[in-house]
Amino acid sequence: MSSTKPAASSENIVSQKYDRCLADLLVKAGVGFSVGVVASVILFRRRAWPIGLSTGFGLGAAYADCDRSFNPARIPGTRIIGKEEAK
């Protein structure tokens, strides 16, 4: 018997990317929310805008990371080499 792994289906790869993106979104939005609450209580006399701003920063960072994982051609300085060019 060979010990090679079976090839992953494209549906599994896409679902794993979506799972990673969702987990990243929850973590970064949660961290942004937490930083906003702390900043709101300590620095801004319990105003609401720091919470929304920092949560938005977390959501934006998660969106950018997810966009890079689904479309690696958008990363500055990268070049996708096809099979014909690699030879």
pLDDT tens digits, 32-69: 999 999 999 999 888 999 999 999 999 999 999 999 88
Q: Which of 13, 69, 71 is nearest to 80 (CA)?
A: 71
Q: Does residue 2 register a pLDDT over 80?
A: no
pLDDT for res 86:
58
Structure tokens of 13?
């790869």
CB neighbours of 17 closer than 8 A, spacing ≥ 6? 66, 69, 70
Q: Does residue 87 register a pLDDT over 70?
A: no
Q: Does residue 74 register a pLDDT over 80?
A: no
- CB neighbours (10 Å) of residue 62? 20
10, 28, 56, 61 from 39: Cα distances, Å: 43, 16, 14, 19
pLDDT for res 19:
96
CA 78 to CA 84: how far, in whole Å? 18
Cα dihedral 31, 59, 56, 38 in deg (nearest 10): 0
pLDDT for res 85:
61
Structure tokens of 85?
């060019």
